[in-house]
Amino acid sequence: MIPAWLRGFQAGRLTSRPVGVLGVALVVGALTIALGAVPVGGGTGHAARNAGAVALTFDDGLNGDYTLGVARALEARGAAGTFFVVGHTLAEQPEVARALVAHGHLLANHSSDHEKPSALDPLYRKLADGQAQFAATVGQCPRFYRAPHGVYTALSWLAVGRAGVQVVNWDVEVRDWDATDPKELAQRVLAKVEPGSIVLLHDGRDGKPGRDRTVLVQAMPLILDGLQARGLRAVRLDELLGTPGTLERCP
């Protein structure tokens, strides 16, 4: 006996239920893959150009003594930084996260791991997973978010909206991870920085512990002195942008 849906198909009607369900599933699947794979731009790249300050931001930690070395260099000159932390490092180095907060630095979300958004994770749970890791470690959730590798998709933007976070990117990027000379690294930053700039630096690499960031730590005083010579203070992102740096409550 020919099933009812096949009879419908044979008769040229495309609305029989199994065919319709299959069609919808195929369309949803294709859209998910498309939306999950296409990079989408946006986010804050700098503050007003008449600002007397810049924000130095540090991605890819926590990274132990390198993260703390960057923080100490900032503190020695009365400055503060914003650390875009890879979530899984919070459980591994909670004392580093708490030291940053205690010394007046700002923590921000750099996802729970350092992978690009995957079409196989259309809800992009890694942002919310990261927030949960901040809540568990320091009792608060960051307001600022920056995607690993700076890659956003239509679906990860939906996750940004659900999480109530603000995407903050950068306008100064100097490939600091391949620098071998602190003085030359400082010159790279100072050649590009402008009032209101958001500077991307890396106190870690991909959230992997122990990556050597000595050159950055040694460049920090030179960068800060150069900024000061131009009348620019290094402040946290919340101060530069005039918005709170943490959410009122964790979602």
Catalytic residues: 59, 202
Within 8 A by CB and 6+ apart from 209, the residues are 63, 64, 89, 92, 93
* Beta strand extents in 11-161 (DSSP E only): 53-59, 82-85, 106-109, 144-145
Number of residues that bind Zn ion (CB under 5 A): 2
Question: Nearer Cβ to Zn ion, position 53 or 60?
Answer: 60
Question: Nearer Cβ to Zn ion, position 60 or 176?
Answer: 60
Report the C-alpha gap between 234 and 138 in whole angstroms.
24
Residue 93 contacts residue 66 (beta carbons within 8 Å): no
Which residue is nearest to Zn ion, using beta carbons? 59
Question: Nearer Cβ to Zn ion, position 60 or 203?
Answer: 60
Shortest separation between residue 150's beta carbon and Zn ion, angstroms = 8
Segment 39-78, which members bind Zn ion (CB under 5 A)? 59-60
Shortest separation between residue 19's beta carbon and Zn ion, angstroms = 45
Shortest separation between residue 111's beta carbon and Zn ion, angstroms = 8
Give me the phi and psi of 86, to 5 degrees please: -75, 120
Shortest separation between residue 115's beta carbon and Zn ion, angstroms = 10
**Residues of the chain by 3-state class (helix, strand, coil), percent to 5:** 45, 15, 40
Question: Nearer Cβ to Zn ion, position 77 or 116?
Answer: 116
Please state, as a whole number, how many other Cβ atoms lie within 10 Å of the Cβ of residue 180: 7
Binding footprint of Zn ion on the chain (CB under 5 A): 59-60
